[in-house]
Structure 1
Amino acid sequence: MTQDTLSEAEYDAITDAAAHWCMRLHAADCTDEERRAFEAWHEAHPLHAFEYEAMQEIWEVAGDLPRTEPEALAAQRKPLRSWRKFAVIAGACAVGLPLAAYSGWNLGWVPNSYQHYAATDSVRQITLSDGSQLELNLNTDLTFSNYKNERRATLNKGEAFFNVSHDASHPFVVRAGDGKIRVTGTRFNVWMYEDQVRVNLVEGSVLVSSNRDLPGDGLRLSPSMQARYRHGDYAPQISQTYPGDTSLAWRSGRLILDNLALHDALPLINRYLDKPLMLADTSTGAIRVGGVYNIKEMNNLANSLPKVLPVYLTRNKEGNPVINSMPQRPPKS
């Protein structure tokens, strides 16, 4: 196998190997010896890493397939080796399938299109295949899949503003953390950091659920309303946003902190940092901070905090900067 030119058979062999390793590494009985063999294969050729990453993305989509299938469909399907079965599904997802040619589409199991989008050091604007327009904040990762019964975006991390193309018969669902946001056509923002999710509605209406495994579509938001939820919440917390809300300032490249306590401000700051800021204690978290910051220059913020707040910085054993409040001097007698 040469670096510059590969035959069709060689490409097929790499794709098959990528599917095999994806199956094995997700298997409960995968051994340390197998993992070392995978690492050696992964580093042996640049295309190995590329194909494996593609298989990983398809695996995430295939993870939404139901664990069982109708008996009639199972009876029509010949037995396949497990990794070969996955390779067939992966190939089907990758190229898109005619409606009549693949029963998985008709049953709503498998998408006929799948895209992956990421924004790293700048805000990114994208148009999905359904015509919906999105803006991705820095350090954002999102996938989009088109199923027969719904359009599905998965926010893996970061923040996105959605201007969803209206289609009442084909709802648009955003998955973020444990919950979901269901719409037919509207404009809204979804922010996710660790296990926190916040949804701000600008126009139209959305249904927000904090746990997509629960029955029902969740609570309805009207314009200028906000929903928040975290891992384990039975229902989202709903509130009204005030007229001067600055949570969407990132779309113009700014982060505006309006006299926030540090424990509330750090999740908004840390999403932009290489190493997140930590708090030494709860009293430090109560110190308030304000100001307007360029989201592309947030790594400079940590060093500037001692200049504007009564704090100093240390580092923990992981190398993260830790904010400490300055000790109060005893009053002079």
Structure 2
Amino acid sequence: MTEHTHSEAEYDAITDAAAHWCMRLHANDCTEQERQAFAQWRDAHPLHAFEYEAMLEIWDVAGDLPSPAPVVTMVRAKPQTPWRTMGIAAAVCALALPLAAFSGWHLGWLPNSYQHFESTDHVRTVTLNDGSQVELNLGSELTYSNYKDQRQVTLKKGEAFFSVSHDTRHPFIVKAAEGRIRVTGTQFNVWMYEDQVKVNLIEGSVLVSSNDDLPDDGLRLGPAMQASYRRGDFTPRISDTYDNDSSLAWRQGKLVLDDLALTDALPLINRYLDKPLMVADNSTGSIHIGGIYNIKEINGLVKSLPRVLPVYLTRNANGNLVVNAIPQKTPKS
């Protein structure tokens, strides 16, 4: 049986349909009937699902569009569609409309290049379109978009070490959780796990903000300084990097735990696990662990915990391994 080869017109029609469904499914008034119709369209051909996934990436990039100046209108009618929704929709449509994409670039609304990178079971070094180098730790993912007035990276998960090409007129911005790191050219590391972020500066300077909605550019870091924040923090916490800091040991394939309480060690360990390891209680979390481990063998570290610490492992209802302290025997009087 000969496989059907799509014509250019058929490909364009599939792209248009994918853009339509991407916008409808993100609309507040999308109905259940529309969702069912979309599912039928998506499942009708593998190319439909492929094109829709591509549209979702464009939608994700467009969600970071810079805010335009507000438009004042005297018309009082039904509530207007938010500018961000319109901007995202324009970005999705622009995939099939070169003129719209060209105008969007000059307005600073759309990137003229987009890259997506993931690392799974090995440390990966990638080159961004601006010439910057990025090392990705295991299980990390980021996107790069080049706008007219800025270069923008979104760290979706994991950890990355950046060597940024210098360009004072075209700042380099890394978004992580709800915060951002703004630079022009430097070397720094960004670690993210769930809602926690830590930035270590190696060379140059960066501005770190824990809240992307705040108007200022954040707090400045110099070499041998670090900033940390959680999602929702108003400002990041700034501190000096201590002499034996091991934050970059992952670049040599190592995880260094320097006599840390389990509560502090678990976010570092869990970065490499499919299901996060948990502690049963505060008493267990206060037990300390140390050592140097291969980042590809963290599952082995977990299994070895009962041999090196006074703990045993159980599994909770969600399938997570749980570390439990062995009860201390009370001496007989």
TM > 0.5 between the two? yes
Query: How far apart are the structure 2 equivalents of 1:130 and 1:296?
Result: 31
Q: Which residue pairs with 1:218 in the alignment?
A: 218
Give the drift of 1:94: 8.4
By how many angstroms is 1:303 displaced? Answer: 1.5
Post-superposition shift, 1:89? Answer: 2.9
Determine the C-alpha separation between the residues in 2 that align with 1:140 and 1:258.
Answer: 23
The 1:15/1:23 distance shift into structure 2, 3 A limit, reads same
1:157-176 matches, within 5 Å, as: 157-176=157-176
Give 1:90's match in structure 2, choosing from 83, 89, 92: 92
Is the alpha carbon distance of 1:326 and 1:212 closer, same or farther for their aligned partners in structure 2, counting shifts above 3 Å? same
Work out whether residues 87 and 109 of structure 2, in 8 Å CA contact, stay in contact via their aligned partners in 1.
Answer: no
SS of the residue corresponding to residue 60 of structure 1 reads helix
What is the CA–CA distance in structure 1 between the aligned matches of 2:321 and 2:275, rounded to whole Å?
7
1:4, 1:332 → 2: CA distance? 82
> Residues 23 and 89 of structure 2 are in contact (CA less than 8 Å); yes or no, is this contact kept in structure 1?
no
TM-aligned CA deviation for residue 93 of structure 1: 5.6
CA distance in 1, matches of 2:205, 2:225: 10
TM-score using structure 2 length? 0.89
SS at match of 1:42: helix
Q: Which runs of 5+ in 2 are unaligned?
A: 73-84
Which residue of structure 1 lines up, in the alignment, with residue 78 of structure 2? none
Separation (CA, whole Å) in 1 of partners of 2:332 and 2:37 = 69
- 2:165/2:185 contact within 8 Å kept: yes
> 1:38 Cα shift?
2.8
After TM superposition, the structure 1 = structure 2 runs for residues 223-242 of structure 1, keeping only pairs within 5 Å, are: 223-242=223-242
Q: CA deviation at 1:318?
A: 0.8
1:177 corresponds to 2:177:
yes
Deviation at 1:91, TM superposition (A): 5.8
Q: Which letter maps to 2:42?
A: H
- Offset of residue 298 of structure 1: 1.4
C-alpha displacement of 1:271: 1.1
* Cα deviation code 1:206-237 (max 9, x no counterpart): 01011111121111101110000011211100
Change (3 A) 1:204 1:234: same
Aligned ranges 1:73-222 → 2 under 5 Å: 89-90=91-92, 92=94, 102-222=102-222
Deviation at 1:95, TM superposition (A): 9.3
Encode CA deviations 1:147-185: one digit per residue, 9 max, x unaligned: 111111110111000000001111101111111101010
**Residues 288 and 97 (structure 1), Cα distance of their counterparts in 2 relative to 1, 3 Å cut:** farther
Aligned to 1:80: none
Q: Is the contact between residue 96 and residue 112 of structure 1 (CA under 8 Å) also seen in structure 2? A: no
8 Å CA contact retained: 2:16, 2:96? no
1:5-24 matches, within 5 Å, as 5-24=5-24
The one-letter amino acid paired with 1:324 is N
* Alignment length (residue pairs): 321
Once the two structures are TM-superposed, the CA of residue 23 in structure 1 deviates from its matched residue by 1.2
Structure 1 alignment gaps of length 5 or more? 73-82
Q: 1:208 to 1:95 in 2, by over 3 A?
A: farther
Q: Distance in 1 between matches of 2:64 and 2:305?
A: 44
1:51 aligns with 2:51: yes
Cα displacement (A) at 1:260: 0.6
Corresponding residue for residue 244 of structure 2: 244
Instruction: Indicate the residue corresponding to 2:77 in structure 1.
Output: none
- Compared with structure 1, are the counterparts of its residues 219 and 69 closer, same or farther at alpha carbon in structure 2 (3 Å cutoff)? closer
Question: Would the alpha carbon gap of residues 47 and 247 (structure 1) be closer, same or farther in structure 2, given more than 3 Å must change?
Answer: same
Q: Alpha-carbon deviations, 1:57-110, whole Å to 9, x = none?
A: 1001222346767879xxxxxxxxxx9996763364689879xx8332222111
Q: Partner letter of residue 9 of structure 1? A: A
Q: Cα distance 1:171–1:95, how it changes in 2: closer, same or farther (>3 A)?
A: farther
- Greater CA drift, 14-23 or 192-201: 14-23
Instruction: Rate the CA distance shift 1:303–1:40 in 2: closer, same or farther, 3 A.
Output: farther
Amino acid at match of 2:211: N
Instruction: Please report how far the alpha carbon of residue 290 of structure 1 lies from its aligned counterpart in structure 2 after TM superposition.
Output: 1.0
Q: Please identify, of 7-16 and 323-332, the stretch whose mean Cα deviation from structure 2 is larger.
A: 7-16
Contact 1:123 1:138 in 2 (8 A): yes
1:137–1:250 CA contact under 8 A, matched in 2: yes
What do you get for the CA RMSD once the two structures are aligned? Answer: 2.5
The equivalent residue for 1:78 is: none
Tell me the distance in 2 between the aligned counterparts of 1:114 and 1:140: 17
Deviation of 1:3 (Å): 4.6
Q: 1:76 is matched with which residue? A: none
Q: Structure 1 residues 96, 219: closer, same or farther in 2, change over 3 A?
A: farther
